[in-house]
Copies of this chain bind each other. A is one copy, B any other.
Amino acid sequence: MIDYFDRARRLLVGRPMRSEALGQTLLPKRIALPVFASDALSSVAYAPDEIILMLSFAGLAATQFSPLIGVAVAVLLMIVVASYRQTVHAYPSGGGDYEVVTTNLGPTAGLMIASALLVDYVLTVAVSISSGAKYLASAMPSLAGYEVHVSLSVIAVLTLLNLRGMRESGRTFAFFTYLYLFAIVLMLVSGVFQSLTGKLGTAPTAQYDIIPDPAYQVGLVGVGGFFLVLRAFSSGCAALTGVEAISNGVPTFRKPKSKNAATTLLMLGTISACVMLTILYLARNTGVRYVENPAESLVLNGHPIGSNVQVDPVMSQLAATVFADAKPLFYLVAVVTGLILVLAANTAFNGFPQLAQILAHDSFLPHQLYNRGDRLSFSNGILALAGAASVLIIAFDAQVTRLIQLYIIGVFISFTLSQLGMIRHWNRELAVCTDGRRRLQMRHSRVINMFGFVMAGLVLLVVLVTKFTHGAWMALLFMLLIFLVMHRIRHHYESVAAELEVPDYVEAARLPSRVHAIVLLAKLHKPAMRAISYARATTPSSLELVTVDINEDDTKALLKQWKDADIPLPLTVLASPFRDITGPVLAHVRQVRRQSPRELVVVYIPEYLVARGIESILHNHSATRLRARLQYVPGVVLATVPWKLDGTKDPTKLVNKQIIAPESRTKNDRHH
């Protein structure tokens, strides 16, 4: 069983990699940009859509304001980028927001931000992949309606690529990110050129009128209108997600890590902002319509268009307009945008397991998550992320607009906490630093982070107010749950560690006075004889054979064998009025312990190893049950004496040949 499983795993995730190979997985800027920036770069594929969609509630006229809201989002993006450039320089160790907040604001705040980040990583995957499925469907209309299936398949593929190790995924993905940038920039430059020369066409949906939501019949006026503008701004802030991924991933950059990470951050902020603004400008000029329920809200000549007309995402519509005479280029944009959104999800596949490892190291998550897999990636974290995102996609039917309502809140919680932490950081640094030039630099950084904190805090408030009832409550609830679970886990590990600490090594090293060995028998066959030999070899103070009298004939046969074999050891026959093996043995061992509590009891149990899993039905039941109960008796060691049945292969041999290269053994230290 282990054998087959292991072979299948090797085939899927590749051969194991040595720890020393870790240095080789560090990323140059040209690879780091696509790996870490695809989240931020790809959010222009849905952030403008959500701005237009929100404004559409107030009718067609309201959507004309979308570029203005885009400017607000772009300004905020640049503020956040500026703030994070300070973080990347101050904390090159890659704890990112979590490290900043834990160090400066304490573990509770750290745990808060960690919960927020974990939830947002999951949502990044869910939103990006759902949106990607929509873009793919715009290029291949036959996929429309199968977004959930497409999304889940894509998650499966991503999981596999990531289990194989990050370096390979970086290279595989870099090509597509650059292709995406090329396609988008080509489209936007062509569009702007067409616009300036007056040759820009109209979008496929420009012919439709929009029926405003009953609540916003009068357009963007009054409190309601203001609130809608704020909601549109909140949704547009989806463009900011992904910035923090780089600050978490500093250690995977090549040296100088901080400088390279900061440069990458600035690059991606600038590109993102420009692309988003251009999209919104072109969307308005080509008359793109994008609403929540196209079938009911869009009308042609006074009649709703119904569900037969497919309304594609904004970038697909732009590509169709700009490249109306160059169909292949339209397909390039739609497909490559779909792919880049998949790569965005990959950002989370890098960031989530890394954060989970840090949390596991701090005992907030199970310690298993601390270990890198044999391909140097964090296998358990990758699987956890893929599972959670799949559940969300199924629950929300892969609908981006519904998922977006849960999104962003976590990002702004972490932005705000992180900037607050940075302010604290500079205050502390300034308290000890005396170098005038460096103090000036720190003051400068502190001002940037203060500004970032105020802005992020304000936006967090706006997001909370405008999205709470629309789904943000659910994200907050998840965060709270994760917070509480992580708190409990830490508490458990801490109390166990305190319990296990040795107060006095001399006292702890005291030995039991005597060793009483018990060999459990049913028959005097080879496994039993082996157990007896092994038990005798350990020269215990006393040694007895024990059997349970379940069946008179069997017991008589055993007694005869024992006499015939002339074994010089006492044989104790335990009565078992209820035909139960475990009870009498437990009672006997307890009695031995009661009579001499300082004595160690070692119970030898023969156990069969079978050739085929199905055969285990035929063996070992009493042994397993007995061990499960005997382990609770204090002062007892359970010694399993394995017996390989004929035809049983050693499943470890094959595996070891692969894993253990000969030189690994020469490195063993022996300390005396």
Contact = CB atoms under 8 A, between A and B. Distances in A.
A559 B660 contact: no
A481 interface: no
A471 B579 CA distance: 42
A286 to B, nearest CB: 54
A374 B2 CA distance: 36
Given A538-B515, A579-B19, A632-B642, A368 B499 contact: no
Interface string A597-638: 000101010011100000101100100000111011110111
Given A374-B580, A492-B618, A640-B637, A537 B525 contact: no
Contacts of A631: 607, 609, 640, 642
B527 A511 contact: no
Interface in A2-38: 2, 16-20
A17 B577 CA distance: 8
Interface in A529-582: 529-530, 532-534, 536-540, 550, 559, 562, 564-567, 570-580, 582
A138 to B, nearest CB: 43
A652 B632 contact: yes
A646 B495 contact: yes
A668 interface: yes
A639 interface: yes
Contact of A618 (B489, B526, B655): B489
Contacts of A652: 582, 586, 629, 632-633
Copies of this chain, complex-wide, total: 2
Contacts of A530: 508
A305 B630 CA distance: 69
Contacts of A493: 618
A372 B580 CA distance: 9
A374 B578 contact: yes
A529 B515 contact: no
Contact of A20 (B577, B636, B655): B577
B499 A16 contact: no
A665 B532 CA distance: 24
A437 interface: no
Contacts of A18: 577-578
A211 B597 CA distance: 86
Contacts of A179: none
B570 A671 contact: yes
Nearest to A546: B668
Contacts of A608: 496
Interface residues of A, number: 114
Nearest to A649: B632
Contacts of A577: 18-20, 661, 664
A627 B512 CA distance: 25
A173 B633 CA distance: 44
Contacts of A497: 525
Given A510-B533, A578-B374, A642-B631, A571 B505 contact: no
Contacts of A537: 511-512, 515, 600
Interface string A477-512: 000000000000100110111011110010011111
A559 B669 CA distance: 11
Contacts of A575: 664-665, 667-668
Contacts of A643: 500
A571 B582 CA distance: 37
A508 B529 contact: yes
Contacts of A550: 371
Contacts of A527: 500
A658 B534 CA distance: 35
A524 interface: yes
A441 to B, nearest CB: 32
A164 to B, nearest CB: 15
A651 B632 contact: yes
A185 interface: no
A172 interface: no
Contacts of A536: 509, 511
B639 A2 contact: no
A149 interface: no
A577 B591 CA distance: 47
A525 B512 contact: no
A616 to B, nearest CB: 10
A632 to B, nearest CB: 4
Interface in A361-420: 366-368, 371-372, 374
Nearest to A17: B578
Interface in A293-308: none
A60 B280 CA distance: 85
8 contacts: A501-B525, A502-B529, A509-B567, A538-B539, A570-B670, A584-B664, A584-B668, A632-B652
Given A496-B646, A559-B671, A584-B664, 15 more contacts: A17-B578, A492-B618, A499-B646, A508-B526, A511-B537, A537-B600, A539-B539, A570-B670, A583-B656, A584-B665, A587-B664, A631-B642, A632-B642, A632-B653, A637-B639
Q: Which 10 A-B pairs have the closest CB atoms?
A: A500-B525, A575-B667, A505-B565, A508-B529, A631-B642, A632-B650, A18-B577, A573-B669, A629-B652, A638-B640
Interface of A: 2, 16-20, 366-368, 371-372, 374, 489, 492-493, 495-497, 499-502, 505, 508-512, 515, 523-527, 529-530, 532-534, 536-540, 550, 559, 562, 564-567, 570-580, 582-584, 586-588, 591, 600, 602, 604, 607-609, 615, 617-618, 621, 627-629, 631-634, 636-646, 650-653, 655-656, 659-661, 664-665, 667-672
